[in-house]
């Protein structure tokens, strides 16, 4: 039975799923039921150091850079509409291969072209993030964000972070204006 | 509080008591006809109980938790008392749908606002720039989440208009003809949701169909149809299972210009005549209740100048009067004119007869006035409208 977190809650992944190694971070949302341009949500992941910044731009994993240099994090691809059951986008993480200097994996979702399409998270239904143990396909923790977002166009859904030798997951649910660019700048990425 | 599209808020943050408020809706669109409604939906977002759609023809939910009430200055509105809603209703969605041509991109400004004791406490503003080809919109919703009532400014809609909106809520609308090549399916037991009509909402409302110069009115078709809720649980939108327990008869009193007066009705086998006086004919008597098209009364518009006035009525010939369950309505169709619909929306279950509408020849125009008055029988209708016929009790063959 997976743990369901509310905003701000956290869980110790290493205790809930001992020997957790191959992780799937799944992100989902409902496809647009109404007419109009589809909601194209993009999952990204910032691998940041203690200071909250990426060691280099190579540690910003997104649709145009799907794998980290050492291969510990891999984005599985872009879903343009949110159609279909289950995860709409996912990121694979091999925990033992994450470089020691990386303290946190910040999982963000942004709405592509949100301003032009006049879209925000409040219009998207049933968004969630979940952490799955790929070795047995069991869901370890889930965070449903539906009530925790509103007019933002970029959100930190959650983060996986080191704590006293263990890996923990925190349900963040923090929204930002300015889309992926603003979040990238905040995490020390050089955006052209 | 001003809500942006996509914004969510707790009702308690908008309305101090968190329970009772009125929603006012207005859209500045002089060239468009908009119908507003409040859909009461279940946990799956479906309209599982048609009685929880609140709109001009159904002004309140059974629980009284939502009823029509328009704040001053708004085009429509709904008085909401969340505490009265049954636990099965998890969501109220305020909608606007276009009746007739157009798209939501051509509306001007619009709003849904929260009114607390006559004072505005929150609003969601939108405009045509927010939309494209949508013809029906979900404007705002109020929903229960973990026991707390919240609101969300939706501002999303459907190009398919009311039919698509109803489909989204799990209802069915029967208004598209089946493809010619496909086998003709059995006619569903649901009445079509009429998307183009004039509805005479209140007693005394009138509409005049002006005759175009040198043109006759054509056939005026008056249809009486009804459903009952006595059967299995309803699935369709406005639909229902027809029960054999009620035989509703359509008829009329008429007076011609030459002073001749009588009735057209199945009772007494006075079916009238279409080509000769009185130029009014009843198609057939639907006694079994199995015909889904109901009963038709036709007025020959070519001879409209011969007709002075007509009172259209419905009469429960057999069965216990239960107008509310019969859900009866008549529609008046005239070529080239919008369909007119009148619901028998008040109930007097001690009276088997309902005078539905008065149709008068007013200088050549057809003037229709909604009556919906309930009587013990023909004699009372006659007296009220001063017809002056002699009445004896009759029986159908």
State whether residue B101 sits within 8 Å of chain A by CB: no
One CATH from 2.70.98.10, 2.30.22.10, 3.30.930.10, 2.60.60.30 for B2-168: 2.60.60.30
pLDDT of residue B213: 42
Would you say residue A191 lies in a domain?
A: no
Query: What tens digit of pLDDT does each residue of B176-223 get?
Result: 443 333 333 333 333 333 334 455 555 666 666 555 444 566 788 898
pLDDT of residue B363: 80
CB-closest option in B6, B132, B164 to A123: B6
Q: Which two tokens stand for residue B48?
A: 């599982």
Q: Provide the domain limits for residue A100.
A: 3-186
Would you say residue A182 lies in a domain?
A: yes
pLDDT of residue A37: 84
State whether residue A126 sits within 8 Å of chain B by CB: no
Dist. CA A5–CA A145, nearest whole Å: 10
**CA-based nearest distance A106→chain B, Å:** 25
Q: Which two tokens stand for residue B210?
A: 């002006």
Round the average pLDDT of chain B to a whole number and report it.
80
pLDDT of residue B369: 80
Q: Which residues of chain A have a CB within 8 Å of the CB of B155?
A: 123
Q: Do residue B5 and residue A147 have CB atoms under 8 angstroms apart? A: no
pLDDT of residue B205: 64
State whether residue A115 sits within 8 Å of chain B by CB: no
From the list A67, A98, A172, the residue with the least C-alpha distance to A129 is A172
Q: Which residues of chain B have a CB within 8 Å of the CB of A120?
A: 4-6
pLDDT of residue B91: 96
Place of tokens 């209802």: B171
Residue B153: Cβ-neighbour burial (10 angstroms; 0-12, 13-18, 19+): buried
Q: Do residue B150 and residue A147 have CB atoms under 8 angstroms apart? A: yes
Place of tokens 């992944």: A13
Q: Which residues of chain B have a CB within 8 Å of the CB of A149?
A: 8
Q: Do residue B168 and residue A33 have CB atoms under 8 angstroms apart? A: yes
Q: Do residue A151 and residue B138 have CB atoms under 8 angstroms apart? A: no
Q: For A150, which residue in chain B has the nearest alpha carbon? A: B7
User: Residue B198: which residues within 8 A CB-CB, separation 6 or more?
Assistant: B207, B338, B339, B340, B341
Poorest-pLDDT segment among A46-50, A145-149, B147-151 = A145-149
Q: Which two tokens stand for residue A13?
A: 């992944």
pLDDT of residue B394: 62
- Which CATH number is A106's domain given? 2.60.60.30
CB-closest option in A36, A121, A151 to B156: A36
pLDDT of residue B193: 34
State whether residue A122 sits within 8 Å of chain B by CB: yes
Q: What residue spans define the domains of chain B?
A: 2-168, 197-384
Q: Which residues of chain B have a CB within 8 Å of the CB of A121?
A: 6
C-beta neighbour count of B250 within 10 angstroms: 27
C-beta neighbour count of B394 within 10 angstroms: 14
Q: What is the mean pLDDT of residues A148-162?
A: 89
**CA-based nearest distance A182→chain B, Å:** 20
Q: Which two tokens stand for residue A36?
A: 């109009």
Q: What angle do CA B292, B295, B299 make, to 5 degrees?
A: 140
**CA-based nearest distance B322→chain A, Å:** 40
Dist. CA B208–CA B226, nearest whole Å: 25
pLDDT of residue A108: 95
CA B26 to mean position of chain CA atoms: 21
Q: Do residue B132 and residue A150 have CB atoms under 8 angstroms apart? A: no
Q: Do residue B4 and residue A120 have CB atoms under 8 angstroms apart? A: yes
Query: What tens digit of pLDDT does each residue of A166-183 get?
Result: 999 999 999 988 888 889
Phi, psi of B7 (to 5 degrees): -75, 145
Query: What tens digit of pLDDT does each residue of A15-31 get?
Result: 999 999 999 999 988 87
Specify the CATH superfamily of domain B197-384: sav2460 like domains (2.60.60.30)
Q: Which two tokens stand for residue B66?
A: 């939502």
Q: For A118, which residue in chain B has the nearest alpha carbon? A: B130
Poorest-pLDDT segment among A149-163, B4-18, B335-349, B380-394 = B335-349
- For residue B1, pLDDT over 80 is answered with yes
pLDDT of residue B175: 47
- For residue B224, pLDDT over 80 is answered with yes
Is the peptide bond between B365 and the residue preceding it cis, with omega within 30 degrees of 0? no
CB-closest option in B5, B130, B159 to A35: B159
Dist. CA B295–CA B26, nearest whole Å: 38
Sheet holding B53-54, edge to edge: B8-10, B148-158, B136-145, B91-99, B33-41, B53-54
pLDDT of residue B229: 40
At residue A161 the predicted structure's pLDDT band, cuts being 50, 70 and 90, is very high
At residue A93 the predicted structure's pLDDT band, cuts being 50, 70 and 90, is very high
At residue B286 the predicted structure's pLDDT band, cuts being 50, 70 and 90, is low
Look at chain A and report how many structural domains it folds into.
Answer: 1
State whether residue B335 sits within 8 Å of chain A by CB: no
Classified as helix, coil or strand, B131 is coil
Highest-confidence segment of A148-152, B184-188, B249-253, B373-377: B249-253
From the list B393, B346, B332, B395, the residue with the least C-alpha distance to B374 is B346
Q: For A35, which residue in chain B has the nearest alpha carbon? A: B158
Are A142 and A3 within 8 A, CB to CB?
yes
E runs forming strands in chain A: 3-5, 10-12, 22-28, 41-48, 60-61, 73-75, 89-94, 104-111, 128-133, 138-144, 154-163, 166-176
- For residue B268, pLDDT over 60 is answered with yes
Task: Evaluate whether B2-168 and B197-384 have a shared fold.
Answer: yes
Total CB pairs under 8 A between chain A and B: 53
ipTM: 0.79
Query: What tens digit of pLDDT does each residue of B36-86 get?
Result: 999 999 999 999 888 899 987 788 999 999 999 999 999 999 999 999 999
Would you say residue A89 lies in a domain?
A: yes
pLDDT of residue B202: 57
Query: What tens digit of pLDDT does each residue of B115-154 get?
Result: 999 999 999 999 999 999 999 999 999 999 888 999 999 9
């Amino acid at each position: 039975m997976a743990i369901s977190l509310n905003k701000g809650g956290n869980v110790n992944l290493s205790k809930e799923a001992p020997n957790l190694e191959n992780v799937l971070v799944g992100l989902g949302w409902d496809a647009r039921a109404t007419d109009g341009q589809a909601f194209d949500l993009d999952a990204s992941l910032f691998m940041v150091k203690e200071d909250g910044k990426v060691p280099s731009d190579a540690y910003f994993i997104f649709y145009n850079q799907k794998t980290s240099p050492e291969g510990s994090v891999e984005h599985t691809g872009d879903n343009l509409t949110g159609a279909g059951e289950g995860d709409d986008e996912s990121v694979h993480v091999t925990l033992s291969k994450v470089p020691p200097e990386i303290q946190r994996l910040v999982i963000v979702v942004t709405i592509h072209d949100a301003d032009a399409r006049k879209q925000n998270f409040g219009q998207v239904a049933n968004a969630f993030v979940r952490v799955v143990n790929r070795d047995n396909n069991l869901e370890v923790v889930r965070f449903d964000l539906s009530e925790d977002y509103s007019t933002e166009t970029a959100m930190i859904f959650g983060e996986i972070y080191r704590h006293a030798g263990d890996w923990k997951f925190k349900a963040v649910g923090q929204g930002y204006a300015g889309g992926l660019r603003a979040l990238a700048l905040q995490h020390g990425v050089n955006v052209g | 509080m001003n809500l942006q599209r996509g914004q969510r808020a707790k009702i308690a943050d908008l309305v101090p008591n968190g329970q009772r408020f009125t929603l006012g809706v207005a859209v500045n669109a002089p060239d468009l006809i908009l119908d507003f409604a409040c859909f009461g939906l279940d946990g799956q977002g479906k309209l599982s109980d048609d009685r929880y759609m609140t709109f001009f023809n159904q002004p309140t939910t059974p629980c009284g938790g939502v009823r029509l009430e328009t704040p001053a200055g708004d085009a429509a509105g709904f008085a909401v008392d969340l505490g009265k809603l049954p636990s099965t209703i998890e969501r109220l969605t305020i909608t606007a749908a276009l009746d007739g041509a157009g798209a939501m991109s051509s509306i001007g400004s619009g709003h849904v606002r929260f009114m607390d004791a006559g004072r505005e406490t929150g609003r969601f503003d939108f405009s045509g720039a927010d939309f494209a080809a949508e013809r029906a919109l979900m404007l705002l919703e109020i929903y229960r989440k973990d026991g707390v009532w919240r609101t969300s400014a939706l501002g999303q809609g459907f190009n398919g208009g009311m039919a698509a909106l109803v489909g989204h809520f799990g209802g069915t609308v029967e208004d598209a003809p089946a493809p010619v090549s496909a086998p003709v399916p059995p006619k569903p037991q649901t009445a079509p949701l009429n998307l183009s009509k004039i509805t005479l909402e209140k007693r005394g409302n009138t509409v005049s169909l002006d005759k175009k110069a040198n043109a006759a009115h054509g056939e005026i078709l008056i249809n009486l149809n009804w459903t009952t809720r006595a059967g299995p649980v309803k699935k369709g939108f406005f639909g229902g299972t027809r029960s054999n327990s009620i035989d509703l008869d359509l008829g009329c009193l008429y007076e011609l210009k030459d002073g001749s007066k009588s009735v057209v009705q199945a009772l007494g086998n006075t079916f009238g005549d279409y080509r000769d006086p009185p130029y009014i004919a009843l198609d057939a008597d639907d006694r079994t209740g199995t015909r889904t098209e109901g009963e038709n009364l036709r007025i020959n518009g070519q001879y409209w100048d011969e007709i002075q006035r007509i009172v259209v009525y419905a009469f429960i010939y057999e069965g216990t009067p239960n107008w509310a369950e019969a859900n009866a309505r008549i529609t008046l169709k005239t070529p080239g004119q919008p369909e007119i619909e009148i619901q028998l929306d008040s109930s007097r279950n001690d009276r088997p007869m309902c005078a539905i509408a008065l149709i008068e020849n007013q200088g050549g125009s057809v003037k229709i006035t909604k009556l919906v008055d309930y009587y013990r029988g023909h004699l009372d209708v006659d007296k009220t409208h001063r017809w002056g016929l002699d009445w004896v009790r009759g029986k159908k063959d």
